[in-house]
Amino acid sequence: MITKIASTGQHSECWQHELATAIREPETLIRLLQLPKSFIEGAKRSARHFPLRVTKSFLSRMELGNINDPLLRQVLPLATELTGQNDNSVNGHLSSWGQLDPVGDAEAMASPGLLHKYPGRVLLVSTAACAIHCRYCFRQHFSYQEANPLGSQFPATLAYLSQNKDIHEVILSGGDPLSISDQRLNRIISQLAAIPHLNTIRFHTRLPVVLPKRLYSQQLDWLQSGQLNRVMVLHINHPNEINDEFRSAIQRLQGHNITLLNQSVLLKGINDDANSLIELSYKLLECGILPYYLHQLDQVSGAAHFEVAVGTGRQLIEQMRNRLPGYLVPKYVQEIPGQAAKTPL
């Protein structure tokens, strides 16, 4: 049982502390990484729209003095975010750039924070809290205050799930569902487990990656969740995100009947080269995680400079297919509003 093997972890009490003390000041980030001070001004301006946030653990995997570090690029606010420019004119769909809700979340909301887009499964936008803020996040403009399916709306959420007998899987997404305390997660999941037609619970989370201490908590009962199948979809974009701290933490889940998958977002200047993607697949395999999706970037306002052309993405997948076993090649997909599933590219 996870609760028992976790009992020796000296990290157990401090994940919430590390979450609460994540770096939020551009000056601090730039000083700690010994980066040029000239980046502070732009970072501060962009952080006003979507605050900077990064854990010390994630920071420790970045290279000092390297403004192009692939992990730093995911979290450093840049002045470019405000101009909304993208030099990939070959993509031909620049006009749709800059949306606040690029994936049609508002349309698909069955009740507050509960997204029912695809047959058989629903996604709960569980919380606004994340341990790091990814600059390309498609939910950076989401109105979390109005839509929290696990707060005061929880009875309505449960009623919807109970009434819709064709729903078999509940995805806890966010924000990051693992930023919720164990006590609350335990309560939520036991209530979900009581709905007879639900058979699977899925966590879409980045916390085990950016704050590995999270998995040393003493009360991971929610991971055992009764009769439900358990799936965890991590979010790792670059092989440098996988270090020993993460490896040890994820090992704690091995042997506990939880399927581990990974989704990445294809990001210009971060992972848009075959070698990085291939190395990522192999490093995931060593951790017992299989690649699931490689997402084409959603065209959210502020993220245009991260876009990789679909043609380039297809070539990258082709190179992966030529060099990797099939199970290490992720599905390259895009979310198109109104479609009944993610669209393969």
Q: How far is the CB of 14 from ligand PLP (least distance, A)?
A: 32
Q: How far is the CB of 236 from ligand PLP (least distance, A)?
A: 16
Q: Point out which span in 58-66, 153-161, 170-178, 276-284 binds ligand SF4 (CB under 6 A).
A: 170-178
Stretch that binds ligand PLP, among 1-9, 111-119, 153-161, 281-289 (CB under 6 A): 111-119
Shortest approach of ligand SF4 to residue 134 CB, angstroms?
3
Q: Which of 70, 149, 175, 208 binds ligand SF4 (CB under 6 A)?
A: 175
Under a CB-based contact definition with an 8 Å cutoff, are residues 155 and 187 in contact?
Answer: no
What's the closest the beta carbon of residue 304 comes to ligand PLP, in angstroms?
21
In the bound state with ligand SF4, the residue whose beta carbon lies nearer, of 75 and 195, is 75
Binding residue for ligand SF4, selected from 73, 202, 206, 295, defined by CB under 6 A: 206
Binder of residue 133, out of ligand PLP, ligand SF4, none (CB less than 5 to 8 A by kind): ligand SF4
CB of 173 to ligand SF4, least distance (A): 7
Nearer to ligand SF4, 137 or 278 (CB): 137
Contact yes or no for 172/149 (Cβ under 8 A): no
In Å, how far are 54, 145, 207 from 131, measured between CA atoms?
Answer: 6, 18, 7
Alpha-carbon distance values, 20 to 23, 133, 177, 187 (Å): 9, 13, 15, 23
Residue 144 to residue 166: CA distance in whole angstroms: 27
Whether residue 175 is preceded by a cis peptide bond, meaning omega within 30 degrees of 0, is: yes
| Stretch near ligand PLP under the rule CB under 6 A, chosen from 36-44, 115-123, 126-134, 309-317 | 115-123
Mark the segment that binds ligand PLP (CB under 6 A) among 10-18, 114-122, 147-155, 270-278: 114-122
Closest to ligand SF4 by CB, 74 vs 153, is 74
Longest Cα separation, the chain? 57
| 67 to 36, 211, 240, 306: CA distances (angstroms) | 8, 22, 15, 15
Q: Please identify, among the stretches 30-38, 134-142, 221-229, 273-281, the one whose residues bind ligand SF4 according to the rule CB under 6 A.
A: 134-142
CA separation for the pair 278, 264 (Å, rounded): 12
Contacting ligand PLP (CB under 6 A), which of 121, 141, 168, 323?
121
Using CB under 6 A, which residues numbered 234 to 293 contact ligand SF4? Answer: 235
In this structure, are strands 258-265 and 200-205 parallel, antiparallel, or unpaired?
A: unpaired
Cα gap 275→281, rounded to integer Å: 10
Subset of 322-341 contacting ligand PLP (CB under 6 A): 341
Backbone angles phi, psi at 334, to 5 degrees: -135, 145
Q: Considering only residues 23, 30, 114, 115, which one is a binding residue for ligand PLP as defined by CB under 6 A? A: 115
- Distance, CA of 201 to CA of 198 (rounded, Å): 8
Cβ of 119: how many Cβ atoms within 10 Å? 10
Judged by the rule CB under 6 A, the positions of this chain that interact with ligand SF4 are 130, 133-134, 137, 139, 174-176, 206, 235
